[in-house]
Amino acid sequence: MNETIAAISTPYGSGGISVVRISGDEALFVADRIFRGRAPLSAAKTHTLHHGKAVDYANQKIIDEALASVMRAPKSYTGEDVVEISVHGSMLSADLVLKSALGAGARLAQPGEFTRRAFLNGKIDLAQAEAVIDIIHSKTTQAHENAVSQLEGHLSGKINQIRERLLDVAAAIGVSADYTDEGFDEDGREKLYTLLSSCFSEVEKLLSSAQYGMVMKEGIVTAIVGSPNVGKSSLLNLLSGAERAIVTEIPGTTRDVVEETVSAGGLLLRLADTAGIRQTEDQVEKIGIERSYACIDKANLVILVFDSSNALSEEEKQLLAYTEGRTRILVLNKTDLAKQLDETEISRLAGTSPIVRICAKDGTGMDDLVNAVKALFSSGGAEVQNGELVTNARQTQSLLHAKEHLEYCLETLNRNECVDLVSIDLNDAIADLGEIIGLSVTEEVVDKIFSQFCVGK
């Protein structure tokens, strides 16, 4: 733990600057051996910047012009003494500075080791460490905003708040078991029940945000399906702003699944344009249609496209039946042409699914489509405040366990059983919430989380 570590913290390649980060008890000592400035860095005040030269420790040859920033423990990213040496954005300069630091007594940092030290030194909790990964990997403004807010501790604060209320309840039960024979009276039990059920609903609320949180971060897997020639590929091209898929007036143009990821209305759509569904004897088209169904089956969202200049076909009715109960949007395309589609019938078959009219030829109605997607996927997020959105599978799992244990607590109270019996499940729920912020996690879990980081972070 106290070994001094070093790594290149900027991406591999050429750029404006490259940064070599050094952290640990000996960071200033190592830095002094490889950096020549006006005065030794070990004499520098914390949070100061120094101009000088990075040198090769082995032969004292100048590597590059450099700036060194000094951040002393505990007010640094890792909580230890940290020196960051910036050189010109050349991979060679950065590599040489790193080698020099390793020669001068540092050891190469493992992936995520700087952030891991921040966690072990109590600078951030585990949910905040996960927010750091999310910031690095975020692909939409919304995911980014939520991750930043999580790093500030909003989710952790919420979890802590619930956990502390549960700890109070556990303490009250403990006291009653120690000092009284008869335990809680009717009034006391009722208070206990109210307290526990309010914690239960808080956990439930966080969980209800998780489904939305996950699609917000990972993207919405979206299948564009329908009969041949209705304009599925045209829609894909329009959404992606590029001629991604081949569009022709020949029905059955698309055979393979064409995938594209686009950002729309702050959400990430993982689009799959598929082969038009119809009866066919063509071997290749048949395989394509099988793949269309496979896409529907694994999608979070199905966009069913219809040609409004054609009447509804039997196959389209079957497709509507096949996708019933799925999160779907019905898109009526080609609104520039004379209408043949019976809209009363389609409204009836749509059930609660939204219907959007578009013209893929000129882009009319695209805002309505994006708004329909947003309306379907933002509701879970509306329940909680920004930064309290759960976007992580591990955290979701712990919340699920906490919810289960709290449910058992409430059942025990309902059965009028001895209050002592509540303790076991209550303590489990407290531990589950602790897992989220890293209070009760195994080394294995910690390893797994930090292995997702890159070297230098």
Ligand X SMILES: Nc1nc2c(ncn2[C@@H]2O[C@H](COP(=O)(O)OP(=O)(O)OP(=O)(O)O)[C@@H](O)[C@H]2O)c(=O)[nH]1
Nearer to ligand X, 338 or 382 (CB): 338
Q: Return the residue of 240, 333, 392, 395 that touches ligand X, per CB under 6 A.
A: 333
Give residue 240's Cα distance to chain centre.
22
Closest distance to ligand X from the beta carbon of 362 (Å): 7
Strand partners, 270: 221, 261
How far is it, in rounded angstroms, from Cα 283 to Cα 261? 29
Closest distance to Mg ion from the beta carbon of 327 (Å): 22
Contact track, ligand X, 66-85, x by CB under 6 A: --------------------
Contact call for residue 359 and ligand X (CB under 6 A): yes
Contacts with Mg ion in 222-251 (CB under 5 A)?
A: 232-233
Beta strand pairing call for 258-264 and 267-273: antiparallel
CB atoms within 10 A of CB 233: 24
Cα angle for residues 263, 268, 273 (degrees, 5° grid): 85
Contacts with ligand X in 257-276 (CB under 6 A)?
A: 276
Nearer to ligand X, 335 or 423 (CB): 335
If contact means CB under 5 to 8 A according to the sort of partner, which of ligand X, Mg ion, none does residue 321 touch?
none
Among the listed ranges 47-55, 225-233, 368-376, 422-430, the one in contact with ligand X (CB under 6 A) is: 225-233
If contact means CB under 5 to 8 A according to the sort of partner, which of ligand X, Mg ion, none does residue 333 touch?
ligand X
β strands within 252-300, DSSP E: 258-264, 267-273
Peptide bond into 354 cis (omega under 30): no
Contact call for residue 228 and ligand X (CB under 6 A): yes
Q: Are 259 and 272 in contact (CB under 8 A)?
A: yes
Q: Return the residue of 176, 209, 254, 300 that touches Mg ion, per CB under 5 A.
A: 254
- CA-based max dimension of the chain: 84
Contact call for residue 288 and ligand X (CB under 6 A): no
Beta strand pairing call for 62-71 and 82-88: antiparallel
If contact means CB under 5 to 8 A according to the sort of partner, which of ligand X, Mg ion, none does residue 403 touch?
none
Among the residues of 49-140, which ranges form H helices? Answer: 91-103, 113-120, 126-137
Contact call for residue 252 and ligand X (CB under 6 A): yes
425: region left, alpha or beta (phi > 0 left; psi from -120 to 50 alpha) = alpha
Contacts with Mg ion in 315-374 (CB under 5 A)?
A: none
Contact call for residue 279 and ligand X (CB under 6 A): no
Q: Specify the amino acid at residue 105.
A: G
Contact call for residue 393 and ligand X (CB under 6 A): no
Q: Which residues bind ligand X (CB under 6 A)?
A: 228-234, 247-249, 251-254, 276, 333-334, 336-337, 359-361
Q: Which residues bind Mg ion (CB under 5 A)?
A: 232-233, 253-254
